[in-house]
Structure 1
């Protein structure tokens, strides 16, 4: 179990989603190991960069992980249009004589969704509210595999690869210390010419919008993969910042029960009992049907219903998120339901990415050339102790301590559902709260 120990010590978590602790995920035996390189959201390209630049590391490490978990089948899922990346990966597979297959997907959203990818590759459907392990699979992002490769060389997770695009002077890739401010990342890409702008953390469909002081007070985490700078009055911003009360009032007055939100829902198309149009109707009527409302708990919040499907411009995603939160606060859990058959029209209802990008008013950014990876050095980081799902790390430093890059500053027991946190720069600890703030210090640098 040396590999698991090294992954735990390095603090590796899943970088493609909520940050599932990798040393916990890989304590299993499965039939399928699937490496996700499909880059689920439009405009994001870090996975493509890693598959071009670190293809041998990815192939070699995938083999080792596959052996660890006893996988009979190993796949890397990526989009058919990734011609250059496919070429590099195939060369690495041949050179290393790896028993790994590439699986090419169409260019649709959300091709990189974990449940969608598992179904595309295996033909199996993960139960609603379940995980890939339920049908004998493990899914990891290519960035996570790179993190495992580094862990094998005793390099902890201290830096993050990111895409910075949108209205910035020099869009491109950054390698930044974890805990770097979002503002610093934008400035590293030349800043923006916009006077009034906002930033989407992550992709345009599922990302969070921040502005003003939030841009200075938000810091890079292990799971933050992209920053998109857009005008403050951009279509996506308006939709994402729509008040919940307004969305509920719209459901009461404007929902025509056309069923498009349900018909286009990726979960519903795979046989999950999720019917956003029924949830909208219940909210609109002000009635309570808990069995229907509980369906919101399996919503992935992919945003198709909100930003693509609804002809009335309503927000079923936002309503689902609200219902989900209310039910959880009441202690209500989702009880697995029998799956329906996969919808025979599923292949015809996949959302083409070019059309989606046009709907999102992002076409001018699609296909623009991104600058090569820039390694960013900073003199201050604010490192969150909760960069993953599960238990936050416990601080192992106090104010006034001097730390070196790679030193453990927060940890969890190996059996805990959490991950170890490391210093991303050398310096002096200036604050310990939910964050650990480190300022670069020449005394530590000289001692490295």
Structure 2
């Protein structure tokens, strides 16, 4: 079997991150295959659920992927406190007679960041703005492995597992068709509040939604692994609102930054050796408009391009409640607009204090005001079929898929709706619902349920 072709045809992309097309990631060769089951952010349950319920499927996929990339070391990395999940994986490994290690990580954030994981497992740091393959490793999320196993059976990616937590009766897992409106998922989740904000993803790096119209238009995609419901007046929501204005951030930074270095000293990228010193970016933020020399601009703000947006600086490190992450995002954009190039350190080495500088997850949860939701685990998985789905044609890094169908057609689950753009990074998109194609454009397709 042509593993890469099967994965490409099925439209598999990274299920736990930015959605990098998996057939491209697995086209190279690497010595180490790492399976990321660490559940990077608090309150998310998806990876744990898959490890408990689909351990044998994961192990089978690991064998196929490791053969494809030529890996002689296979590692499943997850937090050591996940005792039930570890036992399920050990049993599956033993049953298959597979040579797969279990690497138990500490309970800290962001343990699931692939560069942090690679550094801890291999003892080497990935180059700045590089990828694990630069140091001989490939990292895949467990959800991606489940999709790969399906692809090898001829099944495209048309369903998604995701967890729902926060202001609900109890945390739940869902398996729903791609394109399902998130409001349909919420209606099945036992909401405890009527006025709420919604986080698509995790509390640290997810997308905050406060506008009811935007929430109503959001759908489940290949990369969405979690929904977190918060009361509209929650401190995370109020803080998010305050951080949307760059001019306001500039005035706050000028008046309140005390140059304590905590944003730098606790930065995961800084700790693994990258040139990432947000306290210097903050120090110079107020005089941005006065810097006209490109070299000086890079010296003042160039570190921002190495920011991974983990959010530790703004949510945990800064005692003044400032947002180095948002400031870094601003300068990433400005550096692109100015066409400036920041040099890369291709051989970073971890700094002293790497272990001591890690952020304990429970302390982070308390700082976020989410302790009331912590420790409630999703054991039940619900499935349902929505009346309609809207399937975006860009659920991945790169170019949107190109539609090949017409409005009015009858389509079945698994039918190809849009083919990956052959002129760039892209991924196939398939139908997730039997029904009528009521709308199709360059951005996506809407399907109404009907027996066909």
TM-score (norm 1): 0.96
Q: Distance in 2 between matches of 1:369 and 1:27?
A: 36
**1:360 to 1:111, Cα distance in 2 relative to 1, 3 A:** same
2:361, 2:196 → 1: CA distance?
A: 25
Match of 2:156 in 1: 156
Q: How far apart are the structure 2 equivalents of 1:324 and 1:105?
A: 31
2:63 alignment partner in structure 1:
63
Of stretches 279-288 and 250-259 in structure 1, the one that deviates more from structure 2 is 279-288
Please report how far the alpha carbon of residue 347 of structure 1 lies from its aligned counterpart in structure 2 after TM superposition: 0.4
Determine if contact 1:170/1:371 at 8 Å carries over to the other structure.
no
Q: How far off is 1:298 after superposition?
A: 1.5
Specify the alignment match of 2:256 in structure 1.
Answer: 254
**Alpha-carbon distance in structure 2 between the residues aligned to 1:26 and 1:330:** 34
Indicate whether 1:209 and 2:218 are aligned: no
Please name the residue that 1:366 is paired with: 374
Supply the distance in 2 between the matched residues of 1:245 and 1:174 (Cα, whole angstroms). Answer: 41
1:332/1:182 Cα in 2 relative to 1: closer, same or farther (>3 Å)? farther
Q: How far off its partner does 1:335 sit? A: 3.0
On the 8 A contact 1:385/1:394 being kept in 2, the answer is: yes
SS of equivalent residue, structure 1 residue 184? helix
Shift of 1:65: 0.7
8 Å contact from structure 2 (residues 401, 421) kept in 1: no
1:413 is displaced (CA, Å) by 4.9
Which position in structure 1 is the counterpart of 2:297? 290
Contact 1:158–1:406 under 8 Å retained in 2: yes
Q: Secondary structure at the match of 1:347?
A: coil
Q: Deviations over 1:158-198 (max 9, x none)?
A: 011001000013420000111111111111112x2323210
SS of residue in 2 equivalent to 1:300: coil
TM-score, normalised with respect to structure 2: 0.95
Q: Gaps (5+ residues) in structure 2?
A: none
Q: What residue in structure 2 maps to residue 407 of structure 1?
A: 415
Kept in 2, the 8 Å contact 1:110–1:302? The answer is yes
Q: Distance in 1 between matches of 2:54 and 2:423?
A: 31
- 1:125-140 alignment runs, 5 A limit: 125-140=125-140
Aligned CA RMSD, in angstroms, stands at 1.3
Aligned to 1:351: 359
Structure-2 change in CA distance of 1:338 and 1:158 (3 Å) = closer
Closer/same/farther in 2, CA of residues 273 and 68 from structure 1, 3 Å limit: same
2:124–2:349: 8 Å Cα contact kept in structure 1?
A: no
SS of residue matched to 1:389: coil
Aligned positions of 1:251-400 closer than 5 A = 251-286=253-288, 287-288=290-291, 289-292=296-299, 293-337=301-345, 339-400=347-408
* CA drift at 1:430: 1.5
**Worse overlay, 397-406 or 310-319:** 397-406
How far residue 415 of structure 1 moved from its aligned partner, in angstroms, is 7.2
Deviation at 1:351, TM superposition (A): 0.4
Distance 2:416 2:450 in 1: 18
Deviation at 1:60, TM superposition (A): 1.3
Matches within 5 A, 1:32-71: 32-71=32-71
Map 1:232-247; keep pairs closer than 5 Å: 232-241=232-241, 242-243=243-244, 244-247=246-249
Q: Displacement of 1:87 after TM fit?
A: 0.6
Offset from partner CA, 1:314-353 (integer Å, 9 cap, x none): 0000111111122223333443135553111110110000
Q: Secondary structure at the match of 1:6?
A: helix
